[in-house]
Amino acid sequence: MKVLKFGGTSVGSPQRMQEVSKLITNDGETKFVVLSAMSGTTNTLVEISDYLYKKNPEGANTIINLLEQTYAGHIEKLYNTDEAKQKTMRFLHDEFDYLRSFTKVHFTSFEEKVILAQGEIISTNMVANYLQECGVKTLLINALDIIRTDKNGEPDMNYIKDRITKVLEAHPGFQIYLTQGFICRNAYGEIDNLLRGGSDYTACLVGAAVQADEIQIWTDIDGMHNNDPRFVEHTEPVRQLYFEEAAELAYFGAKILHPTCIQPAKFARVPVRLLNTMDPTAPGTIINNDFERGTIKAVAARDGNICIQINSSRMLLAYGFLRKVFEIFETYKTSIDMVCTSEVGVSVTIDDLRHLEDIVNELKKYGTVAVEEDMCIICVVGDLASNNVGFEAIACQALKNIPVRMISYGGSAHNISFVVKAEDKKRTLQALSDTLFK
């Protein structure tokens, strides 16, 4: 069995829903399909929640009505039979009445997560009704019944595998098993989610649970590119990535893949393929456990970083200095992305700015602190452990005319990272591309 995930743009219109339905049924094989909400819906649900937080039910109702009108317009374009149209209209009527009910309750973060879950619930019901109208034997599975996180907020793989196995055993013979991405329940049974981009995560959790032949992540571009095509000319798709390489690229800015999603697939040794719904015949990118030596695969960039430098003459041979520094970030639950040290100081980068002022105030107890905003992390990913090639030296040479604030190398055999000013991002990416991929 293959597991296929389709993002919001892939199901962003009635036509796209029809095309996706043809794509998943064209070979007659059994598949497990994970869908996101239609593009734009989650943002609208966030807007509705914002009005409710601000105690403005009239504003929320206005947006709910507009969203309902949008979906009502989709029905005529998606379905051919009156039966399917009426069935979906009844579902949408109940769904939007349910959304309106939140204008009459005390609104909290729990209610917001319930509201955000409705986007995926709507899209999967619409596609399930269309598939059934087309005569495809389809089982719609509520993700809230099969995906759960533990008390640490991590996926409960034993629970997920057990629940999915029971559903498949109880309902054999279906061609398409369909469920929602992104949404789940937490350890306390409450509706929760896997954060933005979490539909990728859902697909990989399902794929690992069923030991799928392959997990396919369908988006609107042809796989992972060797650089960012928005800033660099003549980029090319990368046809194969090692799991660790893909994880580095996703974490450091490659938008096609959710940073944490491939871990379940990696541990289960299930390959992940990135494919393009706009060009289904394109080969895309395969991510697996095959490691290709002597090559650089891709360059990625992540914006919105802050560089914090802490200098202290007391650091020279001072036992526990780094521990004290890192404990401050831990106290404020702020992750450090890169770190560089010297005898008299340490520099780190973060992208979570919620507690920046508090962190800086605490750090000032141990030395002088300088903060640089609008920094960009550029990472080069591939086989950087082959000493006879010297890719790290080649990458550094490519940036000889660009001021580099930090360099991180040695923490991974697959990544060397550079911190530059945001204004230097484009020419940094281009310089690396011209040197590494010429």
pLDDT in tens, 385-437: 776 668 889 999 999 999 999 999 988 888 999 999 999 999 999 999 999 99
- State how far the Cα of 157 lies from the Cα of 312, in Å rounded to an integer: 45
Percentage of the chain lying above the pLDDT 70 cut: 97
Local confidence band at 164 (pLDDT 50, 70, 90 cut-offs): very high
Q: How far is Cα 7 from Cα 219, in angstroms, rounded to an integer?
A: 6
What tokens does 235 get? Answer: 């980029």
Of 369, 353, 372, nearest in space to 421 by CA: 372
* 302 and 212 fall within a common domain: no
Q: Tell me which residue range forms the domain holding 391.
A: 297-436
Give the domain CATH number at 346. Answer: 3.30.2130.10
Question: Among the listed ranges 59-63, 90-94, 339-343, which one has the minimum average pLDDT value?
Answer: 339-343
Average pLDDT of the chain, as a whole number: 93
**Closest alpha carbon to 206 in 46, 416, 419, 1:** 1
Measured at the CA of 416, the angle between CA 415 and CA 420, to 5 degrees, comes to 135
Give this prediction's pTM: 0.88
Give the lowest-confidence range in 20-24, 67-71, 78-82, 366-370: 366-370
Q: Does position 248 have pLDDT exceeding 60, yes or no?
A: yes
283 belongs to a structural domain: no
In terms of domains, do 13 and 100 share one?
yes
Residue 246 forms part of a structural domain? no
Residue 17 maps to a domain? yes
Mind giving me the DSSP string for 201-252?
HHHHHHHHHTT-SEEEEEESSSS-BSS-TTTSTT--B--EEEHHHHHHHHHT
Sole residue written with tokens 């293959």? 2
Q: What is d(CA 373, CA 264) in angstroms, rounded to the nearest whole number?
A: 34
CA-CA distance, 65 to 71, in Å (whole number)?
10
Evaluate if residue 34 carries a pLDDT over 80: yes
User: What percent helix, strand, coil does the chain show, rounded to 5?
Assistant: 40, 25, 35
What pLDDT does residue 247 have?
87
Same structural domain for residues 10 and 156? Answer: yes
pLDDT at 318 over 70: no
Q: Name the pLDDT band for 171 (thresholds 50, 70, 90).
A: very high
- What digits encode the pLDDT tens for the residues 82-108? 999 999 999 999 999 999 999 988 888
Looking at 220, 235, 259, the residue that finishes a domain is 220
Question: Which element (helix H / strand E) includes 157?
Answer: helix 157-170
What lies within 8 Å, CB to CB, of 379 at 6+ separation is: 248, 249, 252, 253, 299, 300, 301, 302, 415, 416, 417, 418
Q: Is residue 303 part of a domain?
A: yes
Question: How far apart are alpha carbons 18 and 254 in whole angstroms?
Answer: 28
Q: What is the mean pLDDT of residues 205-217?
A: 97
Last residue of a domain, one of 220, 253, 285: 220
Q: Exposed, middle or buried, 134 (CB in 10 Å: 0-12/13-18/19+)?
A: middle
pLDDT value at 316 more than 60: no
155 and 6 fall within a common domain? yes
* Structural domain ending residue among the three candidates 178, 196, 220: 220
* Confidence band for 362, pLDDT divided at 50, 70 and 90: very high
Q: Which of 125-139, 290-304, 387-401 has the highest mean pLDDT?
A: 125-139
- Is residue 176 assigned to a domain? yes
From residue 378, how far is each of 5, 215, 403, 434 by CA, in Å? 28, 28, 13, 15
Task: Compute and round to an integer the Cα radius of gyration of the chain.
Answer: 24
419 vs 220, more confident:
419
pLDDT at 130 over 60: yes
CB 309 within 8 A of CB 345: yes
In a domain, 257, yes or no: no
Tell me which amino acid residue 252 is. F
Confidence of residue 215 (pLDDT cuts 50, 70, 90): very high
Asked if the structure places residue 208 within a domain, the reply is yes
Q: In the structure, how many helices (H) and strands (E) does the chain have?
A: 13, 16
Q: How confident is the model at residue 314 (pLDDT cuts 50, 70, 90)?
A: low
Q: Are residue 301 and residue 213 in the same domain, yes or no?
A: no
Please check whether residue 275 lies inside any domain of the structure. Answer: no
**Contact indicator for 175, 28 with CB cutoff of 8 Å:** yes
Tokens of 353: 């700015």
Mean pLDDT on 218-227:
88
Per-residue model confidence (pLDDT) at position 169: 97
Taking residues 27-35, report their average pLDDT.
96
Pairing of strands 338-341, 368-382: unpaired
Number of domains in the chain: 2
Mean pLDDT calculated for residue range 206-230: 92
**Residue 341, Cβ density class (10 Å: 0-12 exposed, 13-18 middle, ≥19 buried):** middle
Enumerate long-range contacts of 334-338, CB under 8 Å, 24 or more apart: 334/359, 337/305, 337/377, 338/377, 338/406, 338/408, 338/417, 338/419
Number of other CB atoms surrounding residue 54 within 10 Å: 11
